[in-house]
Amino acid sequence: MDITELLLNWYSENKRLLPWRESDNPYHIWISEIILQQTRVEQGLAYYHRFVDAFPDVFALAAAPAEKVLRLWQGLGYYSRARNLHQAANQIVSDHNGKLPDNYKDWINIKGVGSYTAAAIASICFNEPIPALDGNVMRILTRLFAVDQPVNKSATKKLLYDLTMEIIPQDKPGDFNQAMMDFGSMVCKPARPLCASCVLSHTCHAFQSDTVYKYPRKEPKKPVRKRFFHYFFFFYPARDNEMRFFVQKRTGNDIWKNMYELPLLETKEPINRENLLNDPWWKANRIDSTNLLLNGQVLEMKHLLTHQRIFASFYQIRVDGVTKNRLAKQHLSVNLHEFETLAKPALIERYIKQMNV
């Protein structure tokens, strides 16, 4: 048997039972593929169920407030995926009358949909024979064919695409692409691949030459950027001794866009308390820092992103009436219950759960 037949036979006996595989509804496949970008299936399952329950079709997703979409996405990270998903739903409703595309060419023009996702949807839902190349699939291919070129180079991806076009079946492209996804996750794993029980080992160049761990080859990663965040939990008692505090919405093209956080001062390097209180940030916000008193200990946290490492310091500061009024001109005042309903980075949520006011 050839590679394709062996792989499809393996898939028929070992495929993962996943809710979006119970139908060929392109909406469900689309939602699942966006969620599973940079996310393990085990983690993504709960989010998938929440999303399709809250937004059962593209019209419901398009009509939802952006903040609700972000709130349901909270904890998954890579929040641009959620923003793009929401924008894409509006694009499909406005430009396609709510009809989801039925081919690769049209899917690739939808906001946030790359070549892998477009190929997955087109092959699974519409039987279009086009390879879906993600990290799992490219790892299998580089080992099978001993492709000793960096997989993060466009020329290598083109080579792997061409190799896959030679083996993808015209009648079952969706099953083939899903088989490759599962095989890469369950057998041809990054570490400790199950070569001894692999149905493709006899035709795998890497296994036959005992060089499995040589593949896939990648170019060196970008250096990790260090960032120093100083968050201020400015709080004050309101009616019935209810505690309220100030938050702000992130804007621009930085991380966590459109999510809520505490007022933030970012510095280029670690800074001591004296220099922190003398920073021009206070004057820009018209706050007299000389009268501020820290409430309790400064809490330090680290937060890791793909190419960034955030060193966050959290300061609890009870504010007087003058400072409260000045903060209110630029920030949103909330209580803990109100803040719970807002979309926020996991870092901020971790702090709120640990704080002691």
Sign of CA dihedral 320, 324, 326, 327: positive
Write the CA distances from 89 to 65, 71, 104, 144, integer angstroms. 12, 17, 17, 38
Select which of 5, 13, 33, 300 is catalytic.
33
What is the number of other CB atoms lying within 10 angstroms of the CB of residue 186? 15
Name, in order, each residue with C-beta under 8 angstroms of 42's C-beta and a sequence gap of 6 or more: none
Do the bridges between strand 264-267 and strand 299-304 make them parallel or antiparallel, or are there none, so unpaired? unpaired
Write the CA distances from 239 to 250, 317, 318, 322, integer angstroms. 28, 19, 16, 17
Do the bridges between strand 260-261 and strand 243-249 make them parallel or antiparallel, or are there none, so unpaired? antiparallel
- Separation of CA 287 from chain center: 36
Q: How many helices (H) and strands (E) does the chain have?
A: 17, 7
Type of residue at 268:
K
8 A C-beta contact, residue 287 and residue 281: no
Token duo for residue 198: 């692999």
User: Does residue 5 have an active-site annotation?
Assistant: no
Compute the distance between CA of residue 196 and CA of residue 83 in angstroms, rounded to an integer.
Answer: 43
Compute the distance between CA of residue 93 and CA of residue 95 in angstroms, rounded to an integer.
Answer: 6
State the catalytic residues: 33
